[in-house]
Amino acid sequence: MADTVRAMTCAVICCAALHTLAAAAVPTIPKPVIPPGYQPQHERDERGLWLELDEYEKAVIASPLRIREAALDDYIKNLVCRIGKDYCGDFRVYVMRNPYFNASMAANGMMLVWTGALTRVGSEDELATVIGHEIAHYEMAHTLAQFRNIKKGMAIGSIFDIGLAVIGVPIPVGQMTAVLNVLAFSREEEEQADLLGAQLMLDAGFDPHATYRIWRDLIQEDQRAETKREEPGLFTKTHPDSAARAQVLEAWAHSISRPAAAEPADHETFRALIAANYSWLMEDQIKTARYGRTEYLLEQQAQFGMPEGFVHFYRAQMLMQRAEAGDAQAARAEYALATNAAAPPEAFRNYGYLLLKDNDPAAARVQFQRYLTAKPDATDRAMVEFYISEVP
Amino acid sequence: MNIRSMLGCCAVLLLTGCATTPPYTELPAGPVTVGSVRFDVDAGWNVAAPKIWLVSNGVLRVQEGGPYWTRDGQQLDQIIVYPDIRDGEALEKKAPKQAAYPAFRANMLPNEIVALVESTLTKVFGEGDALVTSSGLRPQKFGDQKGFAFDLALSVSNGPDYKGLVGGFVADGKLQLAVYLGAVPYYFDLHRESAARIIASARLTGP
């Protein structure tokens, strides 16, 4: 009996403790520190920073890597305004052609969204998470805070550099060190932006559970990477660990009740836009030659409803580029599936080349002919016709 | 040694190497052999040091390998020779593993080599900073060797656009490749004929 009472008492205490811990784990949402329509104040450093950023923005606008696809551009801008609400007028949004996952926000309201973020989010809710995070950086004036930290660090670093120059090492090691210290500081800002961004996307009617799903997906993609882009250490110190981010955001998402969305997420428009631009998005991804990541993305995109023939085609492309044991055979199956569905004309051509390698010239010729029929103005017609004439 | 000390040491070593290597020397007109391939080079080309520093998109990069031949400087025009690339090797042999350069395979057909070149040059000029596209893949003979040629277009985020010509062939399981890049609108056309002639002159040297 005494044992039972002791056990029950222990259970009650443990439950209470767990409840307290769980309550403590629910994070507090930080507040914006600048109002909508904010302009740089009289401090010279802030005005200088804005001027520098304005100059950089001119280069961004002129960059050939800026996406000029009106439908995609307008869609992202509308999403930014939906989440940013009263801050909408503060932002200029540029979609940049870069196959890696990233987005950024500058102090002057210039937001950059890399196309790699578009290929990785599985829904409008997840894209809203990314955008909410960047808007939060702006509302909390993180760039300015970071800039001032760099300046402070540089001042200290410069004294160290003078010392090095005196002993014959005229390089800015001190400044490098200052930059590293500042990058470490930005982890805290990233965590704050995660939380305020999550609140912003929730307030705009998006699913709060998307905030941690996106990190879970990125973790899985990282696990599939054959070659890690950033070795643990330098870069990863600047951003909180993805698992930790997911954990904090999941705790928050489970702690709140979602208000009825005034305007539900428009997944169909988002899906249609990605599908319309899928070819060049995936061409860029294939060029990264990061096979594990590409393979994972293709699995995700198949689930997300990207055009089946295109997904098969790019999987075949990845397999041919990776060229491990069994990849050519798997690629042949993928090309066969692609060419039986709606796929780029290049699927016929590349299938033909693979059939040539497999000593199946008759089948290769058929695919080459299908390619030239589907793409009569093909710039590589001479090469394809050469192989048609070469094969017996 | 912590990361700060390592960064300092690396910077000292790299700057020292940069300072002691003359950037360009004149390439005498006539036959020039690179690996297993001989080229007939016109007068007026210069060869860059095996390791040079380039400012590309505002970022200081080290370019190592080559050889690189140029007339007006590598930012404006250059011929890059990738000689004797073996099965499993990347075109940029000294690239770090993390950069994930794609590898050449001895059984690659020309369409796959186009993809190899596109991916490699995208990485050389900076992923996310460069857009490389190709067109006009066609057969081309290099002496007795059946090979290929194609055209390139390269845009970088903060610099001139480039056009390019590529020629190459696979012999004895090894890829022999030459790439000409010139800034547009002026430099590409200025040296195009000479560069095309040099690339077309590539011949496998005998054993």
Asked if B111 and A286 come within 8 Å (Cβ–Cβ), the reply is no
Residue A169 has what pLDDT?
39
Asked if A321 and B4 come within 8 Å (Cβ–Cβ), the reply is no
Residue B51 has what pLDDT?
59
Looking at beta carbons, which pairs linking A112-118 to residues 24 or more positions away fall under 8 Å?
Answer: A112/A60, A113/A76, A114/B128, A115/A67, A115/A281, A115/A284, A116/A284, A116/A285, A118/A274, A118/A277, A118/A281
Q: Does residue B15 form part of some domain?
A: no
Min distance A286 CA to chain B CA atoms (Å): 8
Top mean-pLDDT range of A281-285, B11-15, B68-72, B127-131: A281-285
pLDDT above 70 coverage of chain B, percent = 80
Q: Does residue B79 form part of some domain?
A: yes
Residue A18 has what pLDDT?
43
Min distance A289 CA to chain B CA atoms (Å): 6
Measured distance CA(A304)–CA(A301) in Å, rounded:
5
Residue A391 has what pLDDT?
75
Domain boundaries, chain A: 44-255, 277-390
Q: What is the domain extent for residue B126?
A: 23-204
Q: Does residue B16 form part of some domain?
A: no
CATH topology of domain A277-390: 1.25.40
Min distance A383 CA to chain B CA atoms (Å): 4
Q: Does residue B4 form part of some domain?
A: no
Name which of B48, B58, B47 is nearest B126 in CA terms. B58
ipTM associated with this complex = 0.84
pLDDT tens, residue by residue, B89-98: 999 987 888 8
Q: What average pLDDT does the structure give for chain A?
A: 84
Residue A153 has what pLDDT?
62
Q: What is the mean pLDDT of residues B139-167?
A: 95
Name which of B147, B124, B148, B125 is nearest B136 in CA terms. B148
Residues of A in contact with B150 (CB under 8 A): 380
Residue A41 has what pLDDT?
77
**What are the residue ranges in chain A where pLDDT is below 70?**
1-25, 150-185, 228-240, 259-263
Residue A44 has what pLDDT?
77
Residue B195 is part of a domain; what is its CATH number? Answer: 3.40.1000.10
Residue B97 has what pLDDT?
82
Q: Does residue B120 form part of some domain?
A: yes
pLDDT above 90 coverage of chain B, percent = 63
Q: Does residue B130 form part of some domain?
A: yes
Q: Does residue B55 form part of some domain?
A: yes
Q: Does A11 touch chain B (CB under 8 A)?
A: no
Residues of B in contact with A320 (CB under 8 A): 112
Classified as helix, coil or strand, A363 is helix
Residue A187 has what pLDDT?
78
Interface of B with A in 83-122 (CB under 8 A): 97-98, 100-103, 105, 107, 109-112, 115, 118-119, 122
> Which residue in this structure is represented by tokens 């690239």?
B95
Helix, strand and coil in chain B, % to nearest 5: 25, 45, 30
pLDDT tens, residue by residue, B20-56: 445 788 888 999 999 999 999 999 999 887 655 555 5
Q: Does B72 touch chain A (CB under 8 A)?
A: no
Burial A165-192 (b: 16+ CB within 10 A, else e): eeeeeebbbbbbbbbbbbbeebbebbbb
Asked if B109 and A169 come within 8 Å (Cβ–Cβ), the reply is no
Residue A146 has what pLDDT?
75
Residue A166 has what pLDDT?
44
Q: Does residue B37 form part of some domain?
A: yes
Residue B48 has what pLDDT?
80
Residue A229 has what pLDDT?
53
Instruction: Look up residue A300 and give its DSSP letter.
Output: H
pLDDT tens, residue by residue, B94-116: 788 888 999 999 999 999 999 99
pLDDT tens, residue by residue, B170-183: 999 999 999 999 99
Interface test with A, best of B14, B118, B123, B158 (most A CBs within 10 A): B158
Residue A159 has what pLDDT?
55
First vs last C-alpha separation in chain B: 48
Q: Does B129 touch chain A (CB under 8 A)?
A: yes
Count how many domains chain B has: 1
Min distance B128 CA to chain A CA atoms (Å): 4
